[in-house]
Chains A and B, each alone.
Chain A
Amino acid sequence: MTALEFLGLLLIVAGFSTLPLLLAVPLIWVERKVAARIQDRFGPNRVGPYGLIQPIADAIKLITKEDITPAGTDKFVYNLAPILSVASVVLMWAAIPLGPNQSLIGVDLEIGVLYIIAVASLGTLAVMMAGWSSNNKYALLGAFRVVAQLVSYEVPLVLSLLIPVLFAGSLSLQDIIIAQHGMWFILMAPLAMLIFFVSAQAETGRAPFDLLEAESELVAGFNIEYSGMKFGLFFAGEFAHVATNGFLIAHLFLGGWQGPGVTFNGPWWSTLLGIFYFVLKASIFYFMSLLLRNSVPRVRIDQLMDFNWKFLVPISIGNLVMTAFLVMITNAAGFGLASYQPLSEATFFELLPVTLVLFLGNVVVLAVIVGTFGRQLREERLTVEAVAAGD
């Protein structure tokens, strides 16, 4: 590798890592507009047409603000935390395919999905570093909650992530997308998709799981002492993380860039079409995340933990075992996923029987859950009501 090649590579990496940060700018506008619509307001509408330039104005304001490092902070850790927060999201993009072309992915890692989960866990570290180094009680309390929340919700996230990996027989995201040529995995594993969506919402710390920045209890949470662009970096990191989760769901369950007229490594128009498809699919999930954020109240910390450990984790373990069992059964019966090698060659109708079996398996699991937990919740409510009536 010559020096010039190295320089070129460095420039590409720098440009590529700027992408998720630039993405945050329009996303902030979308977020504010949607939130305003839900709350019956107009949202930003002064700067530029429909307020489109508002996030840029905000960014300039954040950059030009005075950079304050409060006395009593641990300076090095305090300044490192926002950088690490953004870095964890930017690193995820290295292994995420951005289109139906082998050149539109940073590196097609053999362990792609695992890598993404690993670097995402660095985000937890950044929040803890910020909370501790700020030397502030509220920041520290926010950081404590983060550990409990993010570490817990990583369990159902990874368990539901395993199901597309199980179907595709590969940890590489590009392989998982290509394997969905005949049938999207959402039809084979709708439950896994739902669990992934809910845990991803918790991983990014958005409502109803935004306990790490519960304004009414913690003032602002872990980032209370941060101002200017350091605060901006946490913010940009969070927005980019939500968008990245949308990409991940689209890739893992909705076939990524797959769609009519798209071929892998095809002509330029097919590539553009593929990018359009996957951005569309990812946007659906981003929009759903926004709707959820703006329409449900925040949960309590004990409810948060109960929901994860007593509901999501048992379901995702049961779902994984059931799915693996059904995959083995259908393989033995001769119409399973293993009878089509490679999976990308199989057509929709060929995969229909196995999809039906897996879908019914999901329905059964769901029925069992609703039956068990529904009865349990009803009994709890009746006890509470009986106590209330007794008073």
Chain B
Amino acid sequence: MIAQYIAFGVFAAATLGGAVALVWSRNLVHSALYLILSLFGTAGFFVLLSAPFLAAIQVLVYIGAIAILFIFAVMLTRSLTNITDLFNRQMWVGALTGGLLFITVLVGIILPVWGPNGSLAEGLPRSVDVATTRDIGLQLVSGNGYVLPFELASILLTAAMIGAIVIARESE
């Protein structure tokens, strides 16, 4: 049990530390690398929550594809990688919004404002009963499950891909 707490601490530090360093850094490539650290911490949380499939997908999609494309785009704009001026003029507004959101979530977790949240403490579904990869797959294609959001998401992604190709294509 102690090992789990230590692991939670490490992942939390990676996620939050990475996120803070991401907005703090003046170097865009460093920011992208900190983003990867933060995403990696999130993958760790999925492992701790007995959702290995989500953890692997997190690493594969967010780190293996999206973050790498981020870095690729940033590397193409080399003059942007060493910025010394801070050009975010809404720092305090952002900090206020972020702080308020954080407090809202914290209150929601501690106090039963939006319905009871006792299930967090007891009667948690165990991984052996629910969260196998097969179950996720079946949920994604079954009519009672998430087939509609799944298909909508794929249409959206296809549309985005076609749009990108049309924009990038040289006019004939």
Contacts and interface: CB of A to CB of B under 8 A. Distances in A.
Interface of A: 1, 6, 74, 77, 109-111, 114-115, 117-119, 121-122, 124-125, 128-129, 132, 140, 143-144, 147, 151, 154, 171
Contact of A114 (B3, B56, B71): B56
Interface string B64-85: 1101110110010000000000
Interface in B90-142: 132-133
Given A117-B60, A121-B68, A151-B69, 14 more contacts: A110-B52, A110-B132, A114-B56, A115-B52, A118-B56, A118-B57, A121-B63, A121-B64, A121-B65, A124-B64, A125-B71, A140-B75, A144-B72, A147-B68
Nearest to A140: B75
A111 B59 contact: no
A53 B40 CA distance: 40
Contacts of A114: 53, 56-57, 60
Contacts of A1: 2-3
B12 interface: no
Contacts of A110: 52-53, 132-133
Most buried by A among B56, B63, B67: B56
Q: Interface size class for chain B?
A: 20 to 34
Contact of A132 (B2, B29, B63): B29
A143 B2 CA distance: 42
**Cβ-closest 4 pairs across A and B:** A121-B64, A118-B59, A118-B60, A114-B56
A116 to B, nearest CB: 9
B16 interface: no
Nearest to B58: A118
B83 to A, nearest CB: 15
Give the secondary structure class of B's interface: helix
A128 B60 CA distance: 16
Given A110-B52, A147-B72, A118 B64 contact: yes
Interface of B: 2-3, 27, 29-30, 33, 36, 52-53, 56-57, 59-60, 63-65, 67-69, 71-72, 75, 132-133
B33 A77 contact: yes
B68 A128 contact: yes
B128 to A, nearest CB: 10
B44 to A, nearest CB: 13
Give the secondary structure class of A's interface: helix
19 contacts: A1-B3, A74-B29, A74-B30, A111-B52, A111-B133, A117-B56, A118-B57, A118-B60, A118-B64, A119-B59, A121-B60, A124-B68, A125-B36, A125-B63, A128-B71, A143-B75, A144-B72, A151-B65, A151-B68
A143 B73 CA distance: 12
A84 to B, nearest CB: 10
Contacts of B64: 118, 121-122, 124-125, 154
A122 B65 CA distance: 10
Contacts of B30: 74, 77
Nearest to B40: A122
A171 B133 CA distance: 9
A18 to B, nearest CB: 23
